[in-house]
Structure 1
């Protein structure tokens, strides 16, 4: 009351025979025209919002895990493709060398 600083808190509220609820409380000071100080409070039930935030966090984590798995799979396939590409390029170069050698040998045999 003395500082006038607004106070906002999230709290768990358990009512007899009911599920726990999460509430947001907001308290602030109000001074009327006569200079009298009053404490004004607002309480909101944010249970549904909090449950939705938890569910979204769960899905975000699950999605990140799936993305990591898929990224790892793509990286493995990419490495395999690069290895195969090197093999084929090496094979093509070797074939060119062999063709050159064959032509040289044919040329020598003709002379």
Structure 2
């Protein structure tokens, strides 16, 4: 997961087992960019998140992420936009300078 293609096409789907892996059924939930589908996944309750699969693809590649891997994607700095400013802030530092400006 070194190079994540956040703006490529992705599908969020629920995979249910019927009897065997050959009888698995995929129910399409949503489609959009990988970034949008991670956000859509996070909007669901933990019970609804279980059993979901995220499939992202480009011209010559396809990646699949299960529920745990999607949660790992959501924690990545490229997704959250957080690069450690609050983690490295010293107590008593001016936190107003670290806040995002309202637009």
The two structures have a TM-score, normalised by structure 2, of: 0.24
Greater share of helix: 1
Q: Which has the larger radius of gyration?
A: 1
- Of the two structures, which has the highest relative contact order with CA contacts closer than 8 Å and spacing of 6 or more? 2
